[in-house]
Structure 1
């Protein structure tokens, strides 16, 4: 059994204009973050601030339609997130605070640097071998604790090695937000050497390396439609993958298709000044 659901979606490119007055070489984290496109950002609200008594966010939802298979139902609805409207917040395609839940999405927000464009570099454990200690500036040896040592010198040397300061250095994993079906939340990649993702809060979802998901009933969710948003300078893109296919254990499928559209918008101007005391 095969259902095809056509849903129009707006592909958004955010244009961010900024002016910075800096008297010395500096790097600010605000320059490295690009928000998701308005529609994707509205979906992500439910992952960042979920509906619950704990957060005080009520469940405001208008059901529209259900796409039903033998043992699976994909609901389509309008929902309103009562977390408030932020300054400069751009409305989704159904209005400020409103979200059209028709499929779902996974948004990847780069933290520091994008994981898929750099090497996620982890801080190694403090080494104990004599040669390694001398090379990095350590004078401490676990077999000779009576000897003096300069721990800060070793840390400084380690953080200033080419691996740590090069263009491909990346100490923080990207932040992923998801909202599809009855699931919403966030997840991160635990380390660079594995394809294991940890959901937050903990859930029974299994996130695969291609960001596809499998729920506790064995239903697979495929996110193959990519949306990219980013500013003009610097270019730090935020990617959103939209749900394109749902496949049950029985082999039944729901297919979702999207139309492409591109537009730009401007955020308010900002100015940053750094003052170095004499």
Structure 2
């Protein structure tokens, strides 16, 4: 035993001290890259151009800015709804299909996530334009007489963002659905439930936490999305992230930019709190 150990009576570091040492790097990371920037935005939003809440009053009292807020929530809601409607059956098929095919399809989905975002958005611009493949195919099949307007509007933004967001619904749902015991569905069928009743009364409630997690992730990410709405939506369909970018790019309106960013952050944290309150799978009872 060393002299220091003898003097200290052989005392060992407590578990609390050890845990604090392990958590310190994570705490510093959150402090430096989240808390400090948020506090700086808060200060700039109330100090620039002068002390007060005039930035928030201008942001929430303007019909133009409120229209941008409304458009942001409409797009995020549509993308979330469509992603869940499409992603749920895909996740169900991936959960029940043979393991080999499930891995192949899942690898394709993950590879699509790894593809450059800008490249995927430009690909949709090519596909959706008036002379693009989609319009040419529809005209060739005789389904339409003239090209549809699929870009620079809400339709283009919704299509492009849904494609990008789908994996974020599918991936959480696969694990939740796979964790459901198939015997539960068989028991419901033996008790007289048809397929629709098994889905609505058994499968959907048991997988609600996965649906909520995926939907929340997609909705929150959609609220702050910039590249796809900017390229596919145009100025008439501006979203909040584009507004923040316009404020800060001018380098003279950081106060309004900070206020808009903080409003978006508050909405995001409120949605996360609702998800934890009502859809937390670890919550007792």
Q: Do they superpose with TM above 0.5? A: no
TM superposition score category, shorter chain reference:
under 0.3
Structure with the bigger percentage of strand = 1
Instruction: Return the index of the structure with the highest Cα Rg.
Output: 2
